[in-house]
Amino acid sequence: MSVVISPNYVIPAAASADVADGRNPIIGYQTIATVAHLTSTTQDASFPVSNLANPSTNLKWKGTTALLEEFLTISNPDGADIDYIGVARHNWGSAQIPVSVERFTAVDAFTKLLLHCNGVDASTTFTDSSPSPKTMTAGGNAQIDTAQQKFGSASALFDGTGDFISTPDSTDFTLGSGDFTIDCWFRVNDAGTTRVIAGQGDSSGTLASRNFILFRESVGNFIRATVYQGGVGTTITGTTAFTNAVNIGWHHVALVRTGNILRLFLDGVQEGGDAAFTGAVTDSANQLAIGRSGEQSAAVDWLGWIDEFRISVGIARWTSAFTPPLAEAEWSELITNVFLPDDGPALFRVQKLAYPFIRIKLKPGLAIPQAAVLYCGALLVIQRRIFVGHAPIKYNVQSRVVNGKSESGEFLGRIVLSEGNKTTMSLQNLRAPWSRANLPQFFTAAREIPFFFAWRPSDYPNEIGFVWATNEPSLLISKQTDLMQTTVEMAGVV
């Protein structure tokens, strides 16, 4: 069993110093991870994500591949506080599957241009949603189209003849010698003609003025990207054809520099291999445009739709095969690339916030990921520690046995009729106001549904269990001290 403490681990603030050091018991009984709020990128038809609330080993969620990233996403429409995700009966341990936890967040500082392309149908207003918004100008007949969109309400429509969206050069577009990512969703509407998705350069197409160009070539209808340095271009060509008859619909493209390597991804799969690129990308002083190559007016303008166009400087958002974005949003890591030591229940703790979405990212590993229990919500941090008299659920196996002579008379032995993990949580010297405010709700829930329990999460990170109450817990009060106490009997899964 394992507890994963994230780098930004915090103990929620409380009225007293009793819960300040991380050694108090924690209970995860509140969960928003219901069927209505839980989704997965893939699921085995026989093991859907709706099974992720059942500790049975025969009812669980299973992905469909070990080769791509998998996401388990929990939505939080009611704005509840979240500070943990608990998982049990999984196969993510023993370095089988790298695990991360991510949050839905505002657009990050690496984003230098971001066009969601939403708005009123036929509008020529395009809004940059980056932290430093640029003024965007629609040229030709480029316009908002509500009939097509990948995300949101609309996309940008281009008719292939003089349509583009442009903005003057900015220091934000200086790609330099570091990492960068240029990505968007596209939908083509012809075949056999070169069509430019985006680029930056002068009106003559001078190579020395260009920093990049992303386009679909006429021969083969493959996506191609070229990055320039001093007038010399380094090109990567994809291997998948995109036309209005072949691979129709929306597709994701990402041009990524990571270190001294350029990579091109189509729908999350790398195509064209690694291309070596050292030094700084040409810093163009000309317009950047979506739908054409910067300021150059030529018969290669985009014919089709573009959505979620983004330029990110200082970050390689993807370096290997990935699942393309699932929404017009950004995700940032809360817990990074954890390798669980075993397959016991795992508790991921994060800073307590009302995350609108939070998700588990399972990176490609040695097995198809699966899990039977996933809880997500706010932990109850008990006011007082348990100092004596508690046996951690992991070590407290109780058996129902028959001892003595067997019925056949052939041997003497110990016959085990049943076996399980049971323990008792005895809490004493609790302040009455805190007890009345927190424990009755927990007692009500504990009678109905299981909960995650950790005795001393910072001192004993391996002593956590997925348990349920086997008695009817209640609060008792001492007349002498006005302090309260309770005892919860528990059985559990380890």
Query: CB atoms < 10 A from the CB of 13, how many?
Result: 9
Pair of tokens at residue 73:
């996403």
Tell me the per-residue pLDDT of 235-254, one tens digit each, with 9 for 90 and over. Answer: 999 999 999 999 999 999 99
Q: Specify whether 408 is located in the same domain as 362.
A: no
Say if CB 256 and CB 318 are below 8 A apart.
Answer: yes
Q: Enter the pTM of the model.
A: 0.56
C-alpha span between 164 and 291 (Å, rounded): 5
| DSSP-derived secondary structure for 32-94 | ---GGGEEES--BTTB-GGGTB---TTS-EE-S-SSS-EEEEEE-TT---EEEEEEES-S-BT
C-alpha span between 87 and 346 (Å, rounded): 5
Confidence tier at 18 by pLDDT (50, 70, 90): very low
Q: Specify whether 307 is located in the same domain as 453.
A: no
How much is the mean pLDDT over the chain? 87
Q: Report pLDDT for 111.
A: 95
C-alpha span between 29 and 224 (Å, rounded): 51
Say if CB 200 and CB 291 are below 8 A apart.
Answer: no
In a domain, 97, yes or no: yes
Q: Specify whether 126 is located in the same domain as 83.
A: no
Q: Specify whether 353 is located in the same domain as 433.
A: no
Q: Specify whether 397 is located in the same domain as 372.
A: no
C-alpha span between 18 and 431 (Å, rounded): 11
Tell me the per-residue pLDDT of 215-231, one tens digit each, with 9 for 90 and over. Answer: 999 999 999 999 999 99
In a domain, 187, yes or no: yes
**How far is residue 84 CA from its own chain's centroid?**
14
Q: Specify whether 303 is located in the same domain as 239.
A: yes
Strand partners, 467: 451, 492
In a domain, 5, yes or no: no
In a domain, 440, yes or no: yes
Q: Specify whether 283 is located in the same domain as 146.
A: yes
Q: In this predicted model, which residue has the larger pLDDT, 288 or 468?
A: 288
Q: Specify whether 206 is located in the same domain as 138.
A: yes
Q: Report pLDDT for 25.
A: 86
Q: Specify whether 101 is located in the same domain as 123.
A: no
C-alpha span between 148 and 156 (Å, rounded): 9
Tell me the per-residue pLDDT of 176-216, one tens digit each, with 9 for 90 and over. Answer: 999 999 999 999 999 999 999 999 999 999 999 999 999 99
Q: Report pLDDT for 81.
A: 92
Q: Specify whether 359 is located in the same domain as 293.
A: no
In a domain, 151, yes or no: yes
Check which CATH number belongs to the domain holding 204 and give it: 2.60.120.200
Say yes or no to pLDDT of 351 above 70: yes
**Residue 399: HSE in the Cβ half-sphere, 13 Å Cα cutoff:** 8
In a domain, 42, yes or no: yes
Number of domains into which the chain is organized: 3
In a domain, 324, yes or no: no
Confidence tier at 368 by pLDDT (50, 70, 90): very high
In a domain, 62, yes or no: yes
Confidence tier at 411 by pLDDT (50, 70, 90): low
Q: Specify whether 126 is located in the same domain as 273.
A: yes
Say yes or no to pLDDT of 409 above 70: no
Q: In this predicted model, which residue has the larger pLDDT, 105 or 217?
A: 217
Q: Specify whether 485 is located in the same domain as 369.
A: no
Say yes or no to pLDDT of 54 above 80: no
| Residue 122 domain boundaries | 111-313
C-alpha span between 215 and 213 (Å, rounded): 6
Tell me the per-residue pLDDT of 109-154, one tens digit each, with 9 for 90 and over. Answer: 899 999 999 888 999 999 998 989 999 999 999 999 999 999 888 9
